[in-house]
Chain A
Amino acid sequence: MPRWGMVIDLNTCTGCGACIAACKNENNVAYSSPEEAENGRALSWINLLPRYEGEFPNIHIQYYPMLCMQCDNPPCIKVCPVRATYKADNGIVAQIYPRCIGCRYCMAACPYTVKYFNWYEPKWEPEMIKSFNPDVSLRPKGVVEKCTFCHHRLIEAREEAMVEGIEFQEEQFVPACVETCPARAMHFGDLDDPNSMVSKLANSSRAVRFLEDLGTEPKVYYLSASEKLI
C-alpha cells in the first residue's frame, strides 16, 4: 500500500497561485463574496502564506502554499466524535462529508488551520454550473471540507487500471495542483517507494515540515534554502 505524500520546492515556487485556481476548479470549491471572505469564511483548500523579510526596497517575499498536510498522526481525527474524518490505509486523511455533523472540533484541533467550514449553501455563477467536476461531490452547508490529495483521481485511476486488468501505477495518480504548477515546484508520489522522486526529495537535507515538533508527522514536505519555516 503506497503512502502518498507531497514535496513543495520553495526555491522554485513563484507564488503565482495557479495551484489555488486548479484546486478550486477541480474540487468544486464554492466561491465566496468579499463580505464572507472578510469574515474569514472563504473556502480555499490551498492558501499562500506570505512572509516578508527586510526593509523596502530590499524586501524578500516568500510564499508558502498551505494545504492539508495529511499528517501521519493527525490531531483532527482524534477529536472527531463521529469518525467522519479518519486516516485511510494509504495515508490520506479522509473527510466523509455525509457523515460530518459540522461540530468543527477538527478545525480547532488542526494546527495548520487548513480545514474549512461551509458556512453557506454553496453557490456559483449560473454560467459555471455546467463546469462542475462530476467526480467530486458538492459539499452541503454545515460540513467541514479540506484538501483530499484529489483522492477522487485515485479512485478513477484505480478503476481504470482494474478494468483494463493492468497493475495500478503510481504515476497515474497526480493531484490537480501538482499537475498544474507551471514552475514544477510541486512533486507527488509514494513516500515509501525509495525510488520515487518524492521520497528522494523528502529525505534530502533541504526538506523541512511545518510545526514538526508537534509530532503530527505531516506528509507535505517543503524544500527550503533557509532551513527554517515559520
Chain B
Amino acid sequence: MNLLKNQWFLIGAGLCGILILVVLFLVLPNGEVTQPIAFNHKKHRDNNVPCIVCHRFYKEEKRAGIPPVNVCITCHEDVIYPTPEKIKIQNYFSQHKAIPWQQVYKVPGHVFFSHRLHVNRGNLACKSCHGEVGQLEQPVTKQLIPLKMKYCIDCHKTVETIDNPYECIRCHR
C-alpha cells in the first residue's frame, strides 16, 4: 500500500511535526543564559554594598567589569550561616578557579561603547541602560532593557551636545 495516499498517515506525520516544533521551541535557548551562582543583587544592595565594590572599573575604564572570585571572598571568607551558594564561592576560591559568569550585556565588536564616558561625563545612572538590576533577587540572565541600536540613538537624540545622533561612525568602527 502506498503510505502517502493514506490520510491517517499524513495527519499523524503532520501532528508529529508540530509536536517536534513545540518541543524545540521550549528546549532551545531563548536568549537567556544560566549563571553559575544564584547571585542576589537586591540582598547586597539592601546591605549597602555599592555597585562599584564589584563592578570596579566603570569610572575609569570603558568596561564595568564583572567581579572575580577574590572580590567576593573579601566578604564571604568566613561564613556564619553557610548556604549552598556561599559554599560554591569558597570552592571556586580554594580551587583557584574563576566563577564562570556569563556576560549578558554585550555589544558586538563593531560597536564602540564606554562606561566612563556615560557615567562620568554623561552623568547617567546604571538603571537608565540596565534597568533595575539592583532590585533583582535572581542573577541577571537576560537584558532587562534590550540594548539595541535604537535605544542608544533614541537617548542620544535628547542629548544637546551630540550634534548628529545618526552619525554611524560615532559608534561603529
Contacts and interface: CB of A to CB of B under 8 A. Distances in A.
B110 A135 contact: no
A183 interface: no
B173 interface: yes
Contacts of A135: 112, 173
B4 interface: no
B43 interface: no
Contacts of B135: none
B121 interface: yes
Given A88-B167, A89-B164, A137-B110, A94 B172 contact: yes
A62 to B, nearest CB: 33
A19 interface: no
B157 to A, nearest CB: 16
B26 interface: no
A103 interface: no
A97 B110 contact: yes
A155 B121 contact: no
Given A89-B164, A162-B121, A165-B121, A155 B170 contact: yes
Nearest to A139: B110
Interface residues of A, number: 22
B108 interface: yes
Where chain A touches its partner, the secondary structure class is mixed
A92 interface: yes
Contacts of A162: 117, 121
B109 A159 contact: no
A198 B34 CA distance: 54
B120 interface: yes
Give the 7 A-B residue pairs with the shortest CB-CB distance, closest first: A137-B110, A137-B109, A152-B173, A94-B169, A96-B168, A155-B112, A88-B169
30 contacts: A86-B168, A88-B167, A88-B168, A88-B169, A89-B164, A89-B167, A92-B169, A94-B168, A94-B169, A96-B169, A96-B172, A97-B172, A98-B110, A98-B172, A135-B112, A135-B173, A137-B109, A137-B110, A148-B173, A151-B169, A152-B173, A155-B112, A155-B170, A155-B173, A159-B112, A159-B114, A159-B117, A162-B117, A162-B121, A163-B120
Given A152-B173, A159-B62, A163-B121, 7 more contacts: A89-B163, A136-B173, A137-B110, A137-B173, A138-B109, A148-B169, A159-B112
